[in-house]
Structure 1
């Protein structure tokens, strides 16, 4: 079938078009420098730099230590969204609604890309004071309950490579205290769940458990999040029990 010609929209926005073209180039071609983007788009270097920085801000791109840019978490997930993230989201939504109905707190599904996690599905609690919808948001994995249980599933070699100092050369302050993180992951591995007390957002507590595929690999995490003023430590076993039960049902459906 011959390709269909698409006329440009009547009110084309050049900056949006250029940003989308850059995103496509990064995903399809790999890393690019500012000067290469400038040349390809026929724009000034300063314009190319501003566009790339906006893509970095929205997680469509990341900047490497050599100052080149490559596809970011959003595009990395999109590359296999139909086979992984999109299917996970569709399968998980009914279970998230069930968790909210049982626990009366907001529920989330997260997946990991490198040292970050993305919330691919989120269902809000109906309570007036609640944690809002986080769908589409990206956080450092070590700062979320779901991220901790996913990191805990890594082999020692994979973990070491992921948090090697050279990966944070451009932004060394983003590298966590590795010794403290190793200890936290050991606790999460033993317990089978993780708790995030204000690490991703002040005043918010979350509890997360892994969702595993047929081979036992953690492919996602289920979590519930709530305002810290409503959290009671003695209720933790209840949160974990319900999360594990719902995660087990989701795992059976995914298989």
Structure 2
């Protein structure tokens, strides 16, 4: 027979999970007060107050300073994002390998971190020179084809703010000013993929296409980058292939153009 000492943590965890599930189902624009939570769960207000303070201390819940209502905390959202990205990498890796097989060039899976691009996964040809790895490295979004794809669904004002911060990007010899990049992003929406020609780094070209989730939101970009001497003459072909593969990955993630936003 288990002792009460063994059972207590499990019971406490179940009580905390009930609170978190209740907050998850609350109005996302507001929250729930201590009294209301206690009423719904049938518990003492003092008990709920202690439990919520403990959850708040761990980042699992947060309290609005004006309304005093509770909602889910930043730590839960961070854990959910990390878990979602782990699944995304697992699902996307075979698609990246297909790209490598077709183009014989290194392929990347990229996501947005604020206004920067983070590479989650890279797959290289077996013969590739093992130079600087991009996994875990961030670069400003406007500098790369992946970044431009990832912000291509942003509202115009948000894009202007992002590009105004960047100004004329001091990267490759063909770096462009913010106004030119706004026009380029409009072109990405029409074409479905982005291409850069020595804008990020001299002698480097690349293409990227968006990956969408079941809601139609852009959650990642598939990117191929290589020396201009190898990929430059087939950049548009690589872009169309990248778009096709990104669409197939989007479909596996649950995105269907007929039931959501159209593929572009």
CA distance in 1, matches of 2:151, 2:213: 16
CA distance in 2, matches of 1:157, 1:83: 31
Unaligned segments of structure 2, at least 5 residues: 1-7, 10-57, 61-74, 255-264
Retained in 1: the 8 A contact 2:192–2:243?
A: no
Retained in 1: the 8 A contact 2:211–2:246?
A: yes
CA distance in 2, matches of 1:139, 1:181: 16
CA distance in 2, matches of 1:227, 1:164: 29
CA distance in 1, matches of 2:170, 2:207: 26
- Where relative contact order (Cα < 8 A, 6+ residues apart) is larger, the structure is 1
CA distance in 2, matches of 1:198, 1:228: 8
The verdict on how the C-alpha distance between 1:125 and 1:132 changes in structure 2, with shifts beyond 3 A counting, is farther
1:239 alignment counterpart? 238
1:8 alignment counterpart? none
For residue 95 of structure 2, give the secondary structure of its aligned residue in structure 1. helix
Runs of 4+ in 1 over 6 A off after TM superposition: none
TM-score, length-scaled by structure 1: 0.60
For residue 231 of structure 1, give the secondary structure of its aligned residue in structure 2. helix
Unaligned segments of structure 1, at least 5 residues: 3-26, 30-74
Q: CA deviation at 1:94?
A: 1.3
CA distance in 1, matches of 2:223, 2:230: 16
Calculate the aligned-residue CA RMSD, in Å: 3.4
Q: CA deviation at 1:128?
A: 4.3
CA distance in 1, matches of 2:247, 2:154: 20
Retained in 1: the 8 A contact 2:208–2:243?
A: no
The verdict on how the C-alpha distance between 1:162 and 1:128 changes in structure 2, with shifts beyond 3 A counting, is closer
The verdict on how the C-alpha distance between 1:79 and 1:241 changes in structure 2, with shifts beyond 3 A counting, is same
CA distance in 2, matches of 1:211, 1:247: 5
Alignment: residue pair count: 181
Compare CA radii of gyration and give the structure with the larger one. Answer: 2
